[in-house]
Structure 1
């Protein structure tokens, strides 16, 4: 499907993209022999950019399959053209490029054999695993590919310098410190180093 855009006045009183999409994806309608519908079990829309939801299929009020819905979101409350909100919806079976679904939503999905959905779930799980990695002060890391910085330095190995939650990176043979944007999303590995421990005399 394409993009659907609207003004905030057309959002049915919902104050956020998440609230609007939750409402759109939760419904029940009469069909021959009973009712059918959908129910959002859990959803997330960080920074109003991408909406992820675990959606359950309902038939006669009874829940069955749970699948993922992904919506690309446009959120611009100050838009001058009157279209402050827009979205483009997809199911996981369409293999969305957006693959940062939270673990709490992935865990609610029921098994599937759909190739695109399986690939999407795998990508999401791999991204979660990368973000779960820990970096400590003094760690030495090797990136999957070298980075060129504005001062001309090119490198793929760095020593981590951690101050609270702030990270900077120093070339092993230099003193310059660098920032690496979204380092937790990048492929890297810890380079084993020999640590010298203090000798304690009795």
Structure 2
């Protein structure tokens, strides 16, 4: 859709929040019901995650997750800057990068597909919260190929502020690994050899 069709909203998150907040008024054969967004996020304007609470006649009900794939290109040459595809958690979206603040608002469910999606989201959060101290030695399941025609399985962490650089296990070279905390690796416990002290 073009920006003019977004109802004055200037970002995917604003537009989708407004779309998922709605109420249908009561009729003779149907009670009032609707949804409200309790918490939402759209990291990198790529995927939108929201905790949606259903309500009937003003009474709050279950809270489930909705996931939207987002295509956002405000400089699109053809003027079509925004598109999205929405899914419920019970459809088992592949995207599993939902922030903890959204997951914490969801009510319990017995749906096996939704439970699997939530499990994958929590696994992502755990992976990304791993501490990688400066100097740690890590091992990948398979060697990673780099642009200098070398391959390394065992690498050492070099922290520069918030940036993580990897070196060879001997400390040589400088390498960047994309999405490092999303990758599988183990921290290798190194034997510490204490110096001999003569008294």
TM-score w.r.t. the length of structure 2 is 0.93
State the secondary structure of the residue aligned to 1:178: coil
State the secondary structure of the residue aligned to 1:143: strand
In structure 1, the partner of 2:25 is 30
Give the deviation of 1:188 after TM superposition. Answer: 1.0
For the pair 1:191 / 2:188, whether they are aligned, the reply is yes
For the pair 1:157 / 2:150, whether they are aligned, the reply is no
Cα pair 2:51 2:106 within 8 Å, conserved = yes
State the secondary structure of the residue aligned to 1:34: coil
Cα-to-partner distance string for 1:32-75 (whole Å, 9 max, x where unaligned): 35301000000001121110000001100111100000001111
Match of 2:48 among 28, 48, 51: 51
* Ranges in structure 2 where 5+ consecutive residues have no aligned partner: none
In structure 1, the partner of 2:112 is 115
In structure 2, the partner of 1:64 is 61
For the pair 1:125 / 2:117, whether they are aligned, the reply is no
In structure 2, the partner of 1:14 is 9
In structure 2, the partner of 1:91 is 88
Number of aligned residue pairs: 197
TM-score w.r.t. the length of structure 1 is 0.91
* Ranges in structure 1 where 5+ consecutive residues have no aligned partner: 1-5
Distance in 2 (CA, whole Å) between partners of 1:78 and 1:201 is 71
